[in-house]
Amino acid sequence: VIDWALERDLERSFEAARATRERIARHVRVTPLLDCEGPTQRALKLECLQRTGSFKVRGAAAALSAGERPHAVIAASTGNHGLAVAALAGTLRLPCRVFVPATAAPAKLALLAASGAELTRVAGDPLEAELAAREAADAAGALLVAPYNDPQVILGQATIGLELLEQVPLAPDALFVAVGGGGLISGVALALRERWAQTRIVGCVAAASPALADAVGAGRAIDSRLEPTLADASAGNIEADSITIAAAAALVDRFELIEEDEIAAAMRAALLEHHLVIEGASALALAGSLRSQAADGARHVVVLGGGNVGADTLRAILG
Amino acid sequence: VIDWALERDLERSFEAARATRERIARHVRVTPLLDCEGPTQRALKLECLQRTGSFKVRGAAAALSAGERPHAVIAASTGNHGLAVAALAGTLRLPCRVFVPATAAPAKLALLAASGAELTRVAGDPLEAELAAREAADAAGALLVAPYNDPQVILGQATIGLELLEQVPLAPDALFVAVGGGGLISGVALALRERWAQTRIVGCVAAASPALADAVGAGRAIDSRLEPTLADASAGNIEADSITIAAAAALVDRFELIEEDEIAAAMRAALLEHHLVIEGASALALAGSLRSQAADGARHVVVLGGGNVGADTLRAILG
């Protein structure tokens, strides 16, 4: 069991992340770091080239390997988290059920189905699917893998930070990470906070759906703006008891609220300048970095968390 | 001076490539290798993430650093080669002129102009621009950097092979490389031919523009089909005296002629499955590998040479 009082025991969390990295090594890729030239020296951490197309596979691998081997796995998701859990369950030859809201996009459901998971459609919004998944897991004694509100999942995402420590020779001036439920930024920040003490850790939130930034501001989960966004993978409300609220409050220096046109521009720049397909949530982080690019010679590290975008969205982005 | 009788002296060429790699190291990225799962184990060499967006920067850096520092640099190109030469000239603070055919696409000209090179428009086709560039270089005593028919340029491209030797633990069953003028495949093959003795080296040529494959078949440059192709970066006739004809004849196991619909499908697969923007010429190599993917458990290495694609082409590909 991990003591999740991050502000008190960062060093112990760091060691836990190192142990997690060893445990999940065979399930995840060490993703490349791409150095870009320009007035701002920008290094892109390419989790969009991660297995299953996003960083989520790290957290899922950590959760699935944390305790005894489960006899079945359950998750609620229509996106990257579901794909990651389903792919790992496939590798480990574990039966897997993914609960999806009835409103989910057919394209994403097809991807999930192709991964070999059993899909269960739930009437209502994502929260209903999550509750149904929890009930089913309790009833079946299956392992429910949470998308962000779980220390093991956060330690999985922390392995990105451990890789950055090896790949980036000098602590950068700023680190940009997209923020949805906060699992990614909590993990990366816990790995880097002490080693990169002078680096500003910037959480990049969709202005259309800034739940975690609002929660950190208020000291608790509150009702947030919840509008459609290109950053669908990081949109949505946050669980009221999420451990990522305290973690982000302790570890993140500031939040940037990113507008939809900035997300689109960053996706376009990734396509045409960097030759990368990144999803809207990843574009949040790149857009955060692009905002402050006037600062000559600044060194930025940008975590690009995923690349799962449909052809329709790409067409729309290309205008 | 390099003895370019490859079939007689591969080991000496290999050593020359190693020396070239050291010489150009500060100008090029070591590009990542991306391992993909599937019935075919496919590893993608991501030269699309190379500086200036293509492998051409390796050959250009090799040519520019081979002898005494030139006082000026000249190239003829509207695409990757021109971008690479212009970028390196900028880094080395050398004046650079690029001769472009009057028929060149405005978008590519804009990119070239942004790189700081002086553009000279030449009436007629690419060959006219090449001749004009050669004349200007002779008159000015400037260094003319050739796109493929130059041992130094080929040794630059060979450094991709040296990286592959370090990145790929076990010689693969087949290596897929796009073929235009043949500089890329000649270089990569000379670095790998002896070390990967059992690997089939497959040259992937646009069926719409198969000049080098035709030349190897006939033993000399002949009139080839020359139709528009998505693989514009590897299209065009080949110089009659090109050293790449003998090199490819000696080192390439077979050629695959790739159709336009296969190029488009490979570009789409790169976008939607691998989250990479690759240009048509790179898609040739991926398409070559996809053709033979029925062979279970085969190990392929695919060189993705570049990612410079305009928004229009991407939109067309996405359909």
Radius of gyration of chain B (CA): 18
In this prediction, residue B1 carries a pLDDT of: 41
Distance, CA of B167 to CA of A252 (rounded, Å): 36
In this prediction, residue B209 carries a pLDDT of: 94
> A275, B275: Cβ pair inside 8 Å?
no
Decide if B306 contacts B282 (C-beta within 8 A): yes
Among positive and negative, which fits the CA dihedral A2, A89, A133, A232?
Answer: positive
Residue B250 has phi, psi (to 5 degrees) of -80, -30
CA A104 to chain centre: 19
Distance, CA of A218 to CA of B281 (rounded, Å): 53
| A1 pLDDT higher than 50 | no
A residues 186-215 near B, CB within 8 Å? Answer: none
> B272, A49: Cβ pair inside 8 Å?
no
List residues bridging with A44 in a β-sheet.
Answer: A34, A302
| Strand, coil or helix: B286 | helix
A residues 22-81 near B, CB within 8 Å? Answer: 29, 32, 34-35, 37, 46, 48-49, 51, 53
CA atoms within 13 A on the CB side of A32: 19
Q: How long is chain A?
A: 319
Contacts of B278 in chain A (CB under 8 A): 275
| ipTM of the complex as predicted | 0.94
Distance, CA of A76 to CA of A150 (rounded, Å): 14
- Closest-CA residue of chain A to B306: A275
End-to-end C-alpha distance for chain A, whole angstroms: 49
**Best residue in B51, B275, B309 to probe A by mutation, most A CBs within 10 Å?**
B275
In this prediction, residue A294 carries a pLDDT of: 62
Contacts of A37 in chain B (CB under 8 A): 51
How big is the A-B interface in CB pairs under 8 Å?
Answer: 66
> B307, A277: Cβ pair inside 8 Å?
no
In this prediction, residue B130 carries a pLDDT of: 87
- The mean predicted confidence, pLDDT, of chain A is 93
pLDDT (tens digit, 9 = 90+) per residue, A209-260?
999 999 999 999 999 999 999 998 888 888 899 999 999 999 999 999 999 9
From A32, A307, A309, residue closest to B32, measured CB to CB: A32
**Best residue in A30, A54, A275 to probe B by mutation, most B CBs within 10 Å?**
A275
Residue A176 has phi, psi (to 5 degrees) of -110, 125
- Tell me how close the Cα of B225 comes to any Cα of chain A, in angstroms: 30
| A172 pLDDT higher than 50 | yes
Distance, CA of A275 to CA of A256 (rounded, Å): 25
| B199 pLDDT higher than 90 | yes
Residue B13: both structure tokens together: 């060429």
In this prediction, residue A145 carries a pLDDT of: 97
Q: What is the pTM of this model?
A: 0.94
Distance, CA of B223 to CA of B9 (rounded, Å): 31
Contacts of B271 in chain A (CB under 8 A): 277, 311, 314
Closest CA to B316 of B255, B276, B264: B264
> A278, B275: Cβ pair inside 8 Å?
yes
Decide if A112 contacts A98 (C-beta within 8 A): yes
pLDDT (tens digit, 9 = 90+) per residue, B208-242?
999 999 999 999 999 999 999 999 888 888 889 89
